[in-house]
Amino acid sequence: MAERIRASAMTQVASMHSHITGLGLDEKGRAKRVGGGLVGQVEAREAAGIIVELVRDGRLSGKGVLLAGPPGTGKTAIAIAIARELGKDTPFVALNASEVYSVERKKTEVLLQAIRRAIGVRVVEKRRVIEGVVKAIKYLRKRSPFTPYPTLGGARIVLETKDDTAEYKIPPEAAAQLYQLRVREGDVIVIDAETLEVRKLGRARGKGKKLYDIEAEEEVEIPSGPVEKVKEIVRTFTLHDIDLSLAARRALFTGLFALFGGEKEISDEVRAKTDELVKEMIDQGKAELVPGVLFIDDAHLLDLEAFGFLTKAMESEFAPLIILATNRGIAKIRGTDIESPHGIPRDLLDRLLIIPTRPYKPDEIRDIIMIRSDELDIPLTNEALEELTKVGVERSLRYALQLLEPAWIIARRMGKTAVEREHVLEAERLFADVKKSVEIVEKFKDLMMV
Examine the domain organization and report whether 132 and 188 are in the same domain. yes
Ranked by mean pLDDT, the top range of 6-10, 158-162, 194-198, 214-218 is 158-162
Domain boundary residue among 326, 356, 386?
A: 356
Q: What is the pLDDT of residue 118?
A: 94
Domain assignment present for 362: no
Examine the domain organization and report whether 149 and 187 are in the same domain. yes
Domain boundary residue among 179, 204, 234?
A: 234
Q: Indicate if the pLDDT at residue 344 is higher than 60.
A: yes
pLDDT digits (tens, 9 = 90+) for 131-176: 999 999 999 887 777 667 777 889 999 999 999 999 999 999 899 9
Examine the domain organization and report whether 152 and 281 are in the same domain. no
Lowest average pLDDT, out of 284-288, 340-344, 393-397, 402-406, goes to: 284-288
pTM of the model: 0.74
Q: Indicate if the pLDDT at residue 30 is higher than 60.
A: yes
245 pLDDT band, cuts 50/70/90, is confident
Domain assignment present for 32: yes
Domain boundary residue among 234, 259, 283?
A: 234
Q: What is the pLDDT of residue 206?
A: 72
Query: What is the average pLDDT across 388-393?
Result: 95
Domain assignment present for 361: no
399 pLDDT band, cuts 50/70/90, is very high
Q: Indicate if the pLDDT at residue 360 is higher than 50.
A: yes
Domain assignment present for 44: yes
Examine the domain organization and report whether 120 and 242 are in the same domain. yes
Question: Is 108 exposed, middle or buried (CB count within 10 Å of its CB: 0-12, 13-18, 19+)?
Answer: middle
> What CATH number is given to the structural domain containing 413?
1.10.8.60
Examine the domain organization and report whether 8 and 113 are in the same domain. yes
334 pLDDT band, cuts 50/70/90, is very high
Examine the domain organization and report whether 325 and 344 are in the same domain. yes
Would you say 82 and 323 are in contact if contact means Cβ atoms under 8 Å apart? yes
Examine the domain organization and report whether 250 and 320 are in the same domain. yes
Query: What is the average pLDDT across 116-133?
Result: 91
Query: What is the average pLDDT across 231-249?
Result: 87
Query: Rounded to 10 degrees, what is the CA torsion of 435, 440, 442, 443?
Result: 140
Rounded to whole angstroms, the Cα distance separating 42 from 363 reads: 14
pLDDT digits (tens, 9 = 90+) for 413-428: 999 999 999 999 999 9
Rounded to whole angstroms, the Cα distance separating 193 from 176 reads: 16
Domain assignment present for 445: no
Rounded to whole angstroms, the Cα distance separating 309 from 321 reads: 15
Examine the domain organization and report whether 138 and 206 are in the same domain. yes
Q: Indicate if the pLDDT at residue 263 is higher than 90.
A: no
Rounded to whole angstroms, the Cα distance separating 41 from 26 reads: 15
Domain assignment present for 370: no
Phi and psi torsions of 76, nearest 5° = -65, -40
Examine the domain organization and report whether 63 and 118 are in the same domain. yes
Domain assignment of residue 167, given as a range: 126-234
Examine the domain organization and report whether 384 and 404 are in the same domain. yes
Examine the domain organization and report whether 342 and 417 are in the same domain. no
> What CATH number is given to the structural domain containing 282?
3.40.50.300
Domain assignment present for 153: yes
pLDDT digits (tens, 9 = 90+) for 38-90: 998 999 999 999 999 999 988 887 889 999 999 889 999 999 999 999 987 88
Query: What is the average pLDDT across 97-114?
Result: 89
Domain assignment present for 368: no
pLDDT digits (tens, 9 = 90+) for 6-26: 333 333 333 566 678 899 999
> What CATH number is given to the structural domain containing 169?
2.40.50.360
Examine the domain organization and report whether 286 and 152 are in the same domain. no
pLDDT digits (tens, 9 = 90+) for 303-312: 999 999 999 9
Q: What is the pLDDT of residue 12?
A: 37
Q: What is the pLDDT of residue 208?
A: 53
- What is the number of domains present in the chain? 3
